[in-house]
Amino acid sequence: MSSATHTSLAGRLDTLAIDSSVEGGRAVLVPRGDLIHGCADTLARTLAGLPDDTDRVDLDMTGVTFMDTTGLHFLEVLDTYARRRGTRVSATGWNDQPRRVLEMAGLDPDDPLHGPATCREPVPSAVVLERTRQLDRLRTEVEQLRQAILTRPVIDQARGVLMATHACSPDEAWNVLREASQLSNTKLRKVAAVVTAGAGGGGPQPPPELREALRRAIDRCLN
């Protein structure tokens, strides 16, 4: 049995799907994809479809590759289900970026449902303030990741142009783009767009400061 939700990024983020199996009153749920908008609803539908005699629900999160703050609501849905049904639950196997999100939210990635953020004891105001700051930083980081996903095609194209033009490696091409971005105080995706447009010829000329930044970046990174 499986449930799924689609993303708003035209397929650039992975659809969340949840495979489930039940044996002897224990349900094993295996989410795969990204914990973004709609993921909590997907989990709620999956939980609602479990047999009434389910007394344990274990989530294997190793297949989750990306998570924004919506993923915290995903955990709230699971926690609420456990409390209402008197069911034991767990969500283990967090890796990479999702694990970092949990840490920044003040949760124990090895046991997020029973860590500091889900306990029912009063939390000191200083801890609440620090946790709020962490979540603000987290939202900024997640937005940067979203932008990276959305702009990756033009960045990859620009790297290809530089590799073909200067016979350099993918890492060297990336360093050129990053260096030019820093030198000109220009967003990376704009630098990449200029490099890509220049390869086709006939495109608008970039500002002088960006042309100079690209020249200096190539000299520094490739010579």
Q: Over 25-68, what HEC string results?
A: CEEEEEEEEEECCCHHHHHHHHHHCCCCCCCEEEEEHHHEEEEC
Cβ burial 164-180 (10 Å sphere, 16+ → b, else e): eeeebeeebbbbbbebb
| Sign, CA torsion 11/9/180/196 | positive
Nearest partner of 59 among 25, 93, 86, judged by Cα: 93
Q: Say if residues 34 and 66 touch (Cβ distance below 8 Å).
A: yes
pLDDT band at 198 (very low <50, low <70, confident <90, very high): confident
Q: Say if residues 40 and 79 touch (Cβ distance below 8 Å).
A: no
Domain assignments of the chain as residue spans, ordered by start: 2-118, 152-222
Query: What is the distance between the alpha carbons of residues 77 and 5, in angstroms, rounded to a whole number?
Result: 16
H/E run at residue 140: helix 125-166
Partnered with residue 5 across adjacent β-strands are 16
Q: Say if residues 63 and 30 touch (Cβ distance below 8 Å).
A: yes
Residue 68: what pLDDT?
81
pTM over 0.75: no
Residue 126: what pLDDT?
52
Q: Lowest mean pLDDT of 9-18, 55-64, 95-104, name the range.
A: 9-18
Q: Three-state DSSP class for 110?
A: coil
Higher pLDDT, 107 or 19: 19
Per CATH, the homologous superfamily of domain 2-118 is: STAS domain (3.30.750.24)
Structure letter (DSSP) for residue 19: E
Query: 110-154 pLDDT, tens per residue?
Result: 888 875 544 434 444 454 456 666 666 776 766 666 665 566 788
φ, ψ dihedrals at 120, nearest 5°? -105, 10
